[in-house]
Amino acid sequence: MIYFDCNATTPVLPEVLEAMLPYLRDEFGNASSVHQLGQRSRKAIEDARAQVAGFIGAEPSEIVFTSGGTESNNFAIKGALAAKRIPGKRVVSSAIEHSSVRDVLRFLSDTGQIDNVIAPVERNGIVTPEAFRDATTDDTFLVCLMSANNETGAIQPMAAVAESSRKKGALVHCDAVQSGGKLPIDVSALGADTLALSGHKFGAPKGTGVLYVRKGTRLASLIHGGRQERNRRGGTENVAGIVGLGRAAEHAKQALGAEAVRIRQLRDLLEGLLMKQVPSTLINGDREKRVGNTTNVCFEYTDSSAMVMALDLKGIACSNGSACAAGSPDASHVLLAMGLPQDKAHASIRFSLGHMTKEEDIKAAVPLIAETVSRLRKSNPLWAQAAKQ
């Protein structure tokens, strides 16, 4: 299998698994127990909290462990709503947010709890600070913006948006799930009050996540029933998963240099070969302001769902958008927000590389992709017409 779907999930790193194993076998104590076995689990959690804090430039007391990015985004948005002191109901977000932000805001809007205002994006998939500034009024209590888009990799102007939003008294939430392990994250520089991460995007196990909560930020809890996570999130902690998340954060911080450059070079090689060997191929989004592992490619006159299935049969794993939207017949809301017509949005594939990707994977995959595109186009009458022109 040639795996080009790292934005959906990554394999657990060997050193992460090694760090977790003791807490799946002998160190099974409940971290809330006062005996030695429990307190060793407590220490492991606090060590991991310090590792994650160091990864994003936070204080350990500002780190809340969750089950993943979706819970963290829900926690930030619903917690801010429940704890807000101003009468305003306005929330401003971008048109390209992940479903774990987008669907929450739609639900809260449909139930009359908020006024959901969506800022547009440019054709390159990047919002402008001006769009957020114009949409943010005095009755805005929350602004939500992802730091990097999961489908195109486009990096958003988080710091500029946060600065203008906080001047108007709004809390700022950043979905940084697709930045973890790909970009340096400094919560002070970003200016966010809350920030979400998901461990399985950078080598930790699934079911692990983080919500950073800036010191002094009012946020109501979503899960009650215990005093865990400084009364932020009740429930017995996933000690092994948290330990793995801490080790993955430590690894990601160390690998952001040469490894990030290597992956970006492989991504550029993939794009270059595809553009050379497959006619009528376009790269969606900004070519420069994006994370280094991601490319979103439009193979005109094809269908992305058919492409993904056909490539899977050839041993290539990729996707036609967010994993959370898999199976939907609708075109990507991200690509449509960027102004792509329906036919091009339906013909677009996301390839996302990772630490396991090698140059030979790229060179082996491109001929298979070219062959698949050519075969699918033969059944499209519009391609025959376009090829004659």
Q: How many CA atoms lie within 13 A of 68 on its CB side?
A: 13
Residue 326 pLDDT greater than 70, yes or no: no
Q: What confidence tier does 158 reach under pLDDT thresholds 50, 70, 90?
A: very high
- Interval 22-46 mean pLDDT: 97
The secondary structure of the chain, three-state, reads CEECECCCCCCCCHHHHHHHHHHCCCCCCCCCCCCHHHHHHHHHHHHHHHHHHHHHCCCHHHEEEECCHHHHHHHHHHHHHHHCCCCCCEEEEECCCCHHHHHHHHHHHHCCCCEEEEECCCCCCCCCHHHHHHHCCCCEEEEEEECECCCCCEECCHHHHHHHHHHCCCEEEEECCCCCCCCCCCHHHHCCCEEEEEHHHCCCCCCCEEEEECCCCCCCCCCCCCCCCCCCCCCCCCHHHHHHHHHHHHHHHHHCCHHHHHHHHHHHHHHHHHHHHCCCEEECCCCCCECCCEEEEEECCCCHHHHHHHHHHCCEECECCCHHHCCCCCCCHHHHHCCCCHHHHCCEEEEECCCCCCHHHHHHHHHHHHHHHHHHHCCCHHHHHHHHC
Greater model confidence, 321 or 343: 343
* pLDDT over 80 (residue 120): yes
- 265-273: long-range contacts, CB 8 A cutoff, minimum separation 24: 266/353, 266/357, 266/358, 266/359, 266/362, 267/292, 267/293, 267/294, 267/295, 267/351, 267/353, 269/359, 269/362, 270/295, 270/351, 270/353, 270/362, 270/365, 270/366, 271/295, 271/297, 273/362, 273/363, 273/366
Distance of CA 236 to the CA centre of its chain: 26
Average pLDDT, the chain: 95
- Give residue 219's pLDDT band: very low, low, confident or very high (50, 70, 90): very high
Considering just the CA atoms, what is the radius of gyration of the chain in Å? 22
Rounded to an integer, the average pLDDT of 293-308 is: 97
CA–CA gap between residue 287 and residue 154 (Å, rounded): 8
Q: Kindly state the average pLDDT of the residues 85-101.
A: 96
d(CA 345, CA 269): 23
Rounded Cα gap, residues 234 and 32, in angstroms:
11
Residues near 167 by beta carbon (within 8 Å), at least 6 away in sequence: none
Which residues are paired to 319 by β-bridges?
350
Question: Under CATH, to which class is 2-8+256-378 assigned?
Answer: alpha beta
pLDDT for 385 beyond 90: no
> What mean pLDDT is predicted for residues 244-250?
98
Instruction: Single out the residue of 211, 138, 133, 145 nearest to residue 173, CA to CA.
Output: 145
Amino acid in the structure at residue 41: S
pLDDT of residue 327: 53
Domain limits of the chain?
2-8+256-378, 14-255
Per-residue confidence (pLDDT) for residue 387, from 0 to 100: 73
Task: Name the residues annotated as catalytic.
Answer: 324
Q: Looking at domain 14-255, which of 3.40.640.10, 3.20.20.70, 3.90.1300.10, 3.10.20.30 is its CATH number?
A: 3.40.640.10
pLDDT reading at 322 higher than 70: no
